[in-house]
């Protein structure tokens, strides 16, 4: 597979939806997340590098995660 560089910060390189594993960019990931009612991992990574306490990526879990870690959010 051709090496690609993508801005995706998802660390799950084994995920078939990860942009490093195909040429479709974010589309497959976002499509899956929208269907599941979830938030893509890159948004969680924006809040904190430590996702070890997470066991779901729902809208509600993102809101909770943000409020618990909002002091870490990078502003650019
Ligand atoms: S939407 Fe998905 S594929 Fe795109 S950057 Fe975020 S985690 Fe990566």
Averaged pLDDT in 10-residue chunks for the chain of 76 residues: 76 94 96 98 94 94 95 71
Q: Given this model, what pLDDT does residue 61 score? A: 97
pLDDT at residue 5, as a whole number: 80
Return the pLDDT at 38: 98
Cα angle value 62/55/63 (rounded, 5°): 10
Q: Output the CA 58–ligand 1 centroid distance in Å.
A: 15
Best residue among 21, 42, 54, 57 to mutate for probing ligand 1's pocket (most ligand atoms within 8 Å of CB) is 42
- Neighbouring CB atoms inside 10 A of 8's CB total 21
């Amino acid at each position: 597979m051709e090496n690609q560089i993508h801005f995706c910060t998802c660390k799950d390189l084994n995920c078939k939806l990860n942009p490093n594993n195909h040429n479709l960019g974010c589309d497959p990931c976002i499509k899956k997340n929208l269907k599941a009612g979830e938030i893509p991992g890159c948004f969680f990574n924006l809040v904190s590098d430590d996702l070890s306490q997470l066991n779901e990526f729902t809208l509600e879990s993102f809101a909770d995660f943000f409020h618990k870690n909002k002091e870490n959010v990078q502003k650019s």
